[in-house]
Amino acid sequence: MQEYTGYDRDLVSVQESRRLAVEAREAQRAFFHTSQEQVDRICAAMAEAAYRNSERLGQMAHEETGYGVPAHKALKNKLGSQGVWDSIKDTPTVGVLRRDEEKKIVEIGWPVGVVACLVPSTNPTSTVMYKVLIAVKARNAAIIAPHPSARKCCLETVRIMAEAGEKAGMPKGLVSCIENLSLEGTQELMRHYAVSLILATGGTPMVRAAHSVGKPAIGVGPGNVPVYVDRSADVAKAASDIVNSKAFDCSVICATEQAVVADAPIAEQLRAEMKKNGAYWLDPDQQQAVARCLFDPSGAINPRSVGKTPQALAELAGISVPGWARVLVADLKGVGKDYPLSREKLTTVLGFYVEKDWHAGCERCIELLKFGGDGHSLVIHARDEEVILAFGIEKPAFRIIVNTWASMGAVGSTTGLMPSMTLAPGGIGGSIVSDNISVQHLLNIKRLAYETGAPPPEAYSLAQGVVAQSSNTAGPVSASSLSASNVTGSNGAGTGYSAENIAQIVREVLKELKA
């Protein structure tokens, strides 16, 4: 591929986006008539090819972005490929989906069309796999627009999946990826008339851009995920889950724990158990150094700090931490701009709060969610079902993860949630839905609705009775004199009044309605 620089790159990127959108539309039109069996065969082939390359693509993603742990990225790739496919393979998407004999409704699947898929640098290859599978399963086309820092690994993932799909009968151009990346090119893709829907996973600016182009968009925002540990919890398990989850892929999954909220009676036990699992507590000076390393004065995250080990962060911050440290922990007293480590941290740093009881813990969790995590996710470790349910009812979060890892539970690996790499935060978080996004969100449904009962007699007076006189009547007609018998002849056919009669009748009806 020829490399371009400067202004030429912008033009080339825009033109490529236009070409891919048109090609995708044509491919999707051809794919529209594909049977369910053939759709499933194509998706299964793509899922298997992606799964087979999970380790290699995980290594590529790590090397290109500098984020996370290769082996952990491989696990996410396996979830994004075979895990996602297993969760949707039995979902009907072609033809008649369901029949409700009682309500006399028949549901029929209909694709959205061309889906523009924006992909982040934090979870690039797994997100590509997942988005391609849920799009094609619903007979859509998918165009991948990767983050520039994850371009090569995303291109390779798309190449592998498209090649496998095309060998299984998928039209060429149904799955593609922008090669010449630029902001202008991505914007052109989102605005293009051939694109029907934008599926945006990434940072707040990307999601806002997706929602601002005037097309249907599903966007997901940041997750400042608190984890509450109640006095009723299995504290040793909670500590292990929290540290291992936070260390997983160096905390680049947006649903990873960001702050621990400990119930006071078990706080010291939790602290000790977390240390056993590799948690290192920062002193006040180290906290300040790490905060300066993670965020600029405006609160924007430093990309160099994302997805790093504690040792790499220590080097960036100019401090020293032990080699055994798997996560860094900071004791905090408040939430907000004056406490930078209370923000979302896409790296191996945790906040730690102690609250007197679950009521105070509940309020602290809400405070954290409202500081950049509205609607996303929350974790609770407890055995008291009353407390668990109270958290579920009260918290402004749409995933309440119970007694497991946040990073793996929210995406559907260790819970019964739908496997997904796009976790929507609902209306309070700026999204149109609150689900783990999957195939049902990329599938329109038509409904055949048969009559289940006759209209009430009162409906005829205005719904059908716009004509109440014979064609020879020229005088005004009142709406109250209209009836079904005035409207139709004995054979049910219209009586054929003149335009002047009808106009006069409409004027009289409107006058009565205004009265």
Phi, then psi, of 436 in degrees rounded to 5: -75, 115
Kind of pairing, strands 105-111 and 443-449?
antiparallel
Rounded Cα–Cα distance for residues 323 and 278 (Å): 10
**Token code pair at residue 84:** 């996602």
Q: 422 with 201: CB under 8 angstroms?
A: yes
Find out whether 433 and 282 touch, Cβ atoms under 8 Å. Answer: no
Token pair for 98: 């369901």
- For the CA atoms of 159, 165, 168, 171, the dihedral, rounded to the nearest 10 degrees, stands at -100
Measured in whole angstroms, how far is the alpha carbon of residue 49 from the centre of its chain? Answer: 24
Q: Do the Cβ atoms of 465 and 483 come closer than 8 Å? A: yes
Q: Is 254 part of the annotated catalytic residue set?
A: yes
DSSP classification of residue 430: T
- Catalytic-role residue among 254, 293, 362, 365: 254
The answer to whether 150 and 61 are in contact (CB under 8 A) is: yes
| AA identity, residue 25 | R
d(C-alpha 226, C-alpha 384), whole Å = 18
Contacts 24+ apart (CB under 8 A), 202-209: 202/118, 202/119, 202/120, 202/147, 203/120, 206/118, 206/120, 207/430
The 279-281 sheet, strands edge to edge: 279-281, 327-331, 349-355, 257-263, 225-229, 375-381, 397-402
Residue at 503: amino acid letter: A
Comparing CA positions, the residue from 261, 259, 218, 252 lying closest to residue 429 is 218
The distance between the two most distant Cα atoms of the chain, rounded to a whole number of Å, is 100
Q: Looking at the annotation, which residues are catalytic?
A: 254
